[in-house]
A and B are shown apart, each in its own frame.
Chain A
Amino acid sequence: MHIVVCIKQVPDSAQIRVHPVTNTIMRQGVPTIINPYDLFALEEALRLKDTLGATVTALCMGPPTAAESLRKALTFGADRAVLLTDRYFAGSDTLATSYALSMALGKIGADYGTPEIVFTGKQTIDGDTAQVGPGIASRLNLNQLTYISRIVETDLERGTITVERRAETGTQVLATKLPVLITMLEATNEMRRGSIEKALEAARAEIVTWSAADVGIEDLAKCGLRGSPTIVKKVFAPSARSEKAEMIEAEGNLEARANAVIDALFAKAPAVEDDLYAQAVHHYV
């Protein structure tokens, strides 16, 4: 079996700072990580590799420095790493990203065998759209399984897969035919630790690197900014509320302070008082 996992290298957004004057992202010095959601996809692929014996290819579109994230994926246990990198991809939105990745998946299929399963994370922490997975599935005509919490069974002989999917009000159990695209739900598994030996191997491993032309993209108008129907016209910081919090200056013991808080609350919003009574009465009955 061949499994491809799409991983994105993202800035660790916990450490992103916005320039106070120009409102631009200060990227310098911000460490990059594998998109945390993609680790659940990678771990699930590695578990299938353990149980069914699969080859796992990690695929990433990004700048040349994204090779670092691919090496990390090799350290965890992926067998092959493919980096799709080209200046023509800069500024891609979800449509252009899913196009580029689907072309790379086509070449991966041709060179190394058609994957039975393509995994993506649920979403990225920088793009944060959860749309690239569905986009790839539509383009490649793969059966789409999103928000998967568990792979129940993979039957390679029959070419079928059964999964549990997180729906809005419950869990759907779905059965479909391979090949499929799975977007893995978060917190469904825990990434294994990579070993020192793997890390050493990964440091020396070849990262297969492809450009737009390498994966057969002839029409560059489908890539990057030009291939992106969405246009970002304005980036700005959330506005501060015009009035700041009214501070409750309460003196005395705790009881007095608690009462002062409640008085201030009811004075500020008399309707809340009625609501709370209604709610609390309901609760006590």
Chain B
Amino acid sequence: MADETKPAPAKAGGRANTKKELPEHFKAYKHVWVAVEIEHGEVHSVSFELLGEGRKLADKRGVELAAVVMGDDRAKLGAAAEACFEYGADCVYIACDPALEHYRNETSTQVLTDLVNTYQPEILLLGATNLGRDLAGSVATTLKTGLTADSTELAIDEDGSLAATRPTFGGSLLCTIFTLNFRPQMATVRPRVMAMPERTEGRIGRIVEFAPNIIEDDVVTKVLDFIADRDSDKAALPYADVVVAGGLGLGSIENFQLVKELAAVLGAEYGGSRPLVQKGWITSDRQIGQTGKTIRPKLYIAAGISGAIQHRVGVEGADLILAINTDPKAPIFEFAHLGIVADAVTLLPALTQAFARRLRVNKMAS
């Protein structure tokens, strides 16, 4: 999406697409699909989150929910398919080929566009991860259809179209986007924006094997190596149950240690607002917000963070937000559940001690 809010140029463009006039050949397109993200045999949980959301869309439309899994190890793909059924898929398309061992744009684009052209889904969802964004852009362009990137909300409107809402202009506004006259309607959604669905053990569905039409020798791009991140120093922020974060209000990198100390006592992950990355207080993988990580913890503690909209969109999914800020008018109090007007630099260590005391007492009792 480029300039969403630009007024329609009266003469130049015309508003040909704004009414739903679905061409005849698109009318057969049916069902909701999720392109499942698998890297090194592991299914990315964003795919399950999308199945949860896709289930709701499929039910609203009265159609099937299908998942697409691609890879080179049939046993692993089978296991992934089982998980997809348990998270709500009715059908799983399995594309197994040695050329699909690693994700590559070239091969995955070809397989996914072939699948879409063969089975004609009405809606196609992908995670807004590096892999999903890489793939979605190529697939949408190859199919010449619309794509709403980084959606935060998906719904079906009165006439059955997919309504995808996403932040725009740096998050200051939201906009709802439709693809009325092309199919499939495509959207990407970031990890942790949608809730993880319940898993129904033993739920099963239909498997469709799809033979990819690729020959490795024809594939130009080769994967020479893969250097896995060392899990130890990678922040697991998006999936943490408790997150403690600090902002510019802490005043210095030394004071930021207070955030880490509280996090340590709570067994929590720590993070911060964007300016802290720019100042070098934290690494960019710990930035929370629109251009950082989206989190969904049970408890989020924000100390010295004003609560700008770009920060807010990354934390709104938290069950409980506790804000500590010296300014009673700080925007963060507009969306926090609990707030205290206090100097975080003195309150944080007191909180750390008080928590440590209570949690230790409980441990001895248990």
Contact = CB atoms under 8 A, between A and B. Distances in A.
Interface in A196-227: 221, 223-226
B274 to A, nearest CB: 10
A258 B18 contact: no
Contact of B146 (A95, A235, A271): A95
Interface stretch (A51-59, A69-77, A123-131): A123-131
A14 interface: yes
Interface string A121-150: 000111111111111011100011111000
A225 B9 contact: yes
A132 B245 CA distance: 33
Contacts of A85: none
Given A95-B141, A229-B17, A275-B242, A16 B180 contact: no
A175 B221 contact: yes
Interface in A140-199: 143-147, 162, 166-177, 186-187
Given A131-B136, A146-B134, A238 B312 contact: yes
Contact of A129 (B14, B149, B173, B182): B149
A225 B42 CA distance: 40
Contacts of B363: 277, 280-281, 284
Given A94-B149, A258-B350, A229 B337 contact: no
Contacts of A18: 169, 172-173
B350 A135 contact: no
A22 to B, nearest CB: 11
Give the bracket for the number of chain A residues in contact with chain B. Answer: 35 or more
B144 A245 contact: no
A247 B8 contact: no
Interface string B226-243: 111100000000000110
B147 A94 contact: yes
B44 interface: yes
Interface in B1-34: 1-6, 8-9, 12-18
Contact of A230 (B40, B179, B359): B179
Contacts, number: 350
B353 A237 contact: no
29 contacts: A14-B170, A18-B172, A24-B5, A91-B6, A126-B168, A126-B170, A127-B1, A128-B150, A132-B2, A133-B137, A138-B141, A147-B130, A167-B130, A169-B40, A172-B225, A174-B223, A175-B222, A225-B16, A225-B17, A226-B16, A230-B148, A235-B168, A238-B309, A257-B347, A261-B354, A276-B267, A279-B268, A280-B359, A284-B363
Interface of B: 1-6, 8-9, 12-18, 37, 39-40, 42, 44, 102-106, 109, 129-131, 133-134, 136-138, 140-142, 144-150, 163, 167-170, 172-182, 220-229, 241-242, 264-268, 284, 298-299, 309, 312-313, 319-323, 328, 332-342, 346-347, 350-351, 353-355, 358-360, 362-363, 366
Interface of A: 11, 13-14, 16-18, 23-25, 87-88, 90-98, 124-135, 137-139, 143-147, 162, 166-177, 186-187, 221, 223-226, 228-238, 240-241, 244-248, 250, 254-255, 257-259, 261-262, 264-265, 268-269, 271-272, 275-277, 279-284
Given A18-B173, A255-B354, A279-B242, 11 more contacts: A90-B13, A98-B141, A134-B136, A170-B227, A173-B225, A225-B14, A235-B176, A245-B323, A245-B335, A280-B355, A284-B360
